[in-house]
Chain A
C-alpha cells in the first residue's frame, strides 16, 4: 500500500480513559454497597473482616504495586526504543499477576475450607450481616481477580506484538492502553485492601 496508515494516538488514549471511567463507576458501585452495609452491620463486618488474612492482603498489595511499576517502565522502554527491555518488563508484570492470582487462590481456598462461601452452612445459619460481608468480599475480589486475569492476558498479547516489532517506539498505543488498564487494576486494589483487610 502506498498510503500511510492513519493513526490517532491521542484518540486511542482518550477512548481508553473513557472506558476506565466506566470501570471506576462499576467498582464504585461495589464500594458504595460496602459502605452502606458497613453502616448497617458494623459489628458483623468487623467479625467478618477479622477472618481475612492481613498478611496475604499486604503481600498482594506489594505484588500489584511492583507489577504496576514494571508496566510503567515498559512504556518508558518502548518510548526509548529498547525492545528487549519492553518484553522483559512485560514478562515481569505478567509474572506478578500470576503470583497475585496464586495468593488469591490460597486465600479463597482457606476461606472455603472454613465453610465460608455464599450459601455455606455457616453463612446461611449465621447473622445476615456476615453473609452480606462475605458475599461482597467474593463479588469484589472476584471481579477484581477477573480483571487481573484479563489484564495479564492483554499484556501477554502486547508483549508478543512488541517481540514481533508491531508495537514499537513509533506506534505503541496498544502498550500504553494495556498498561493503563493494568494501573486501573492496581488502583482498585489500593482501595479494596484497606477496606476489607485493615479497617474492620
Chain B
C-alpha cells in the first residue's frame, strides 16, 4: 500500500469567502446584461462565467492544490473543447 501525502484541507471560512465572491459575480453578470453594450454583452457574460468557473474549479474542486497530472489533463480537456468550438466557427462563419 502506498502512503499518500496528507490532503490539503480548505477551511470553512475560505469556502464561504469563495461562495460570497461567486454570488457577487452572479449579481455583476445580471447587472452587466442590462447595460446596452451590443455584442460585448455576450463576451462580458462569458468572461464572468469563466471567472466563476475558475473559482469553482480552483477551490471547490481543489484543483489549486492538485498535482501536475490533473492540471495538465484539465488544460488538455479545455484545449480540446476550444479547438472543437473554434474550428466549427472557421467553417460556419466563412461558408
Interface residues of B in 28-77 (CB under 8 A from A): 29-30, 33, 41-42, 45-46, 48-49, 52-53, 56-57, 59-62, 69-70, 73-74, 77
- B26 contacts which of A62, A75, A80 (Cβ < 8 Å)? A62
- Chain A interface size, as a band, is 35 or more
Interface residues of A in 40-77 (CB under 8 A from B): 54, 58, 61-62, 65-66, 68-69, 71-73, 75-76
Count residues of B near A (Cβ-Cβ below 8 Å): 46
CA distance A31 to B81 in the complex (A): 10
Write out the residue numbers on chain A whose beta carbons fall within 8 Å of the beta carbon of B53.
Answer: 187, 190-191
A73 touches B7 (CB 8 A): no
B81 touches A199 (CB 8 A): no
B9 touches A79 (CB 8 A): yes
Chain A interface (Cβ < 8 Å from any Cβ of B): 4, 6-10, 13-14, 17-18, 21, 24-25, 28-29, 31-32, 35-36, 39, 54, 58, 61-62, 65-66, 68-69, 71-73, 75-76, 79-80, 179-180, 183, 186-187, 190-191, 193-195, 198-199
